[in-house]
Structure 1
Amino acid sequence: MDELRGQTATWRFDEQKVLIQYDSRWRTHALLKTLGRCEVPLPAIAAVDFTSAGKKGWQLRLRLRERADPYAAVGSPLADKGQPFLLTGGSDTELVAEYHADQLRIAADAARLADDRRRPEEYALALVPPIPLHIRTSEGTAMFDGTTIRLEWSDEASSRKTRKRRMEYALADIRRVEWFPQKSLDEGYLRIVTWEEDADPKAAKPSKDFACLLAEDSAKQDAWTLVMAATVTAHLWTATPGQAERPQLTAGPDADTRSVYDRIRELGRLHGEGLLTDEEFTSKKAELLDRL
């Protein structure tokens, strides 16, 4: 197995994968230290870029296929130091790094052609931690078991959330998961977007939103919420490969009735959480009942 050492990681690769072992030194980005290691299947790689900066060293970057990189899909682009599929090194190792980049490019092209029947999203699960995944922030915890994500809030959360204490979201009800890093005085957070909420967005402030888990005062918390968002996203892609819309119930009177009652239950939840007024709830409920 070939090996290439860089400033924040060591890459080992063969004809099937790139095994990335991230350094644990204090200068290493929090996301990389949180991941620890990562295996990138060669067929998931769309391109291998090598860039020389002269005395400043070199960069080797893996460009993954569309819907194969859950980290890039869930939020703002990371700075170079936090890119999980970027390796940098000094000018003294440039020649050997460029050689390995060429060999890796050839191997990735061959692997992609040999495995062309698999969808890109099938590789995403190899890039995220195994489930169940449990993370903790100053506001509470999030746990994902592959079918459900549960948010629980500690006593440090807002009074609105501590009264609610916990929320659960089934994977089938989630359209996407968003990640927002901490910026200046703004808190970072993980946010779950359901199909109903995406169609009619009325999101509360993150500190009061039952679909949010805040990350405060720590780059490590930021990293863990990103990892959770990427993990749920990878499972969403695998559960509904290539689909842009939620699977619908089979057409027919029974399906239509179930759909109406599902919507009414969802309205009840939003009303109970204070996201709909009494008037809005009554009006929308009446509209749905008229469809029966």
Structure 2
Amino acid sequence: MGDVLAGIHATWEFEPDSVLIRFTRGNRGTPKLFQVLDERRIPLEALESVTVCPGKRGTVVLHAVPRAGADPLMDAAAGQLKEAADPYRLVLPAERGTLAEYYADELRAVLPGPATGPAARCLVPSVGAPLRFKAYDGKAVFDGEKVSFRWSWTGASSAKWKAGDQSYTVSELAGVEWRSPEALDGHLRLLFRGGAPGGAGERPAQADQDPAAVVFGLGYGPVHESLPFAAAVLEAAREAAPALPAAAAPPRDPAGVAERIRHLGELHSAGLVTDEEFRNKKAELLAEL
């Protein structure tokens, strides 16, 4: 598509096969998570749907929904992020609502369609290793190949001290369980192939008793530190597992292309796109027929 849409905390650049999201740095009110992510390239095949809805205080929100399995960050978050910290929400002034609808239509026209299952692989890279953060009961470190927990003498339970500091390779892991530090029982727990590390027996139900977990507290394991960590571990664990076959993309719909041209004409008539932008975009759309 080759167009740019600037929002309050991010800018979306629309490209033929992806959307590049650049998060604004230094803006008052920009979530710390966005500053850590910096920018993210979202392949179109990673998106499930796109919507436009009214936002708060005179804004409109362009919201893309990623496919399950496509983005380890959102999979690790498991719906626990607050709306303001959702990296797939572009908040715009309400007067740009028509443009938001236009770009939503453009994206819908090129999305692969409803997914029949989770993505076969991670399509949106995580922040990447090395990563570390301080939890309430210890320090967590991920170097890209193994996850290590080093216990704190002031916060760790006797069960963790008895087990000693822990280190697990990604080949042992099936995934992660991240419970937001904004919840009462916030924690990061490693999930293993076979259910328990080393084929051991049943794991402790409480994260503060589990040597393969760290717990969060006030100021310990904040979202912008612990969630990218969880996503990087999840991505590495999936890459170490056998890949699933990818689904084929459906053919283009001529009626959908015609509707996009009509919508483009309305934007041109309203003065929201220039003559040159109208000619170039119309040529691109006609080339799809």
- Tell me the alpha carbon deviations over residues 216-258 of structure 1, each in whole angstroms, 9 at most, x when there is no partner: 2238723321111122212222222457xxxxxxxxxxxxxxx
- Are the counterparts in 1 of residues 134 and 220 from structure 2 also a CA contact under 8 Å? no
Counterpart for residue 143 of structure 2: 145
**What number of residue pairs does the alignment pair up?**
235
Distance in 1 between residues matched to 2:83 and 2:242, nearest whole Å: 29
| Deviation sequence 1:145-177 (CA, Å, 0-9, x none) | 333211222333325345655211122221220
Label 1:183 to 1:45 Cα distance change in 2 as closer, same or farther (>3 A): closer
Q: Residues 169 and 219 (structure 1 numbering): CA distance in 2 closer, same or farther, change over 3 Å?
A: closer
Superposed CA RMSD in Å reads 3.1
CA contact (8 A) 1:121 1:241 kept: no
Q: Deviations over 1:174-221 (max 9, x none)?
A: 12200011346x352111122344595432532332111222223872
Q: Distance in 1 between matches of 2:14 and 2:242?
A: 28
Give the counterpart letter for 1:150 in structure 2. Answer: S
User: Following TM superposition, by how much is the alpha carbon of 1:129 offset from its aligned partner in structure 2, in angstroms?
Assistant: 0.9
Question: Could you say if the C-alpha distance between residues 143 and 95 of structure 1 is closer, same or farther in structure 2, counting changes exceeding 3 Å?
Answer: same
User: What stretches of structure 1 of length at least 5 have no aligned partner?
Assistant: 244-292
- Identity, in percent, stands at 25
Letter in 2 for 1:90: P
Distance 1:154 1:201 in 2: 24
Q: What is residue 272 of structure 1 aligned with on the other side?
A: none
Match of 1:87 in 2: 90
Distance across 1 between alignment mates of 2:7 and 2:68: 26
Q: Of the candidates 188, 191, 214, which is equivalent to residue 190 of structure 1?
A: 188
Rounded to whole Å, the distance in 2 between the matches of 1:82 and 1:121 is: 26
Structure 2 Cα separation of the partners of residues 242 and 201 of structure 1: 28
Q: What is the letter of the counterpart of residue 134 of structure 2?
A: R
CA contact (8 A) 1:41 1:123 kept: no
**Greater per-residue helix proportion:** 1
When normalised by structure 1's length, the TM-score is 0.68
Change over 3 Å in CA distance of 1:144–1:22 after alignment to 2: same
Pick the aligned partner of 1:71 from 65, 70, 73: 73
| Cα contact 1:60–1:87 (8 A) shared by 2 | yes
Contact persistence 2:52–2:62 (CA under 8 A): yes
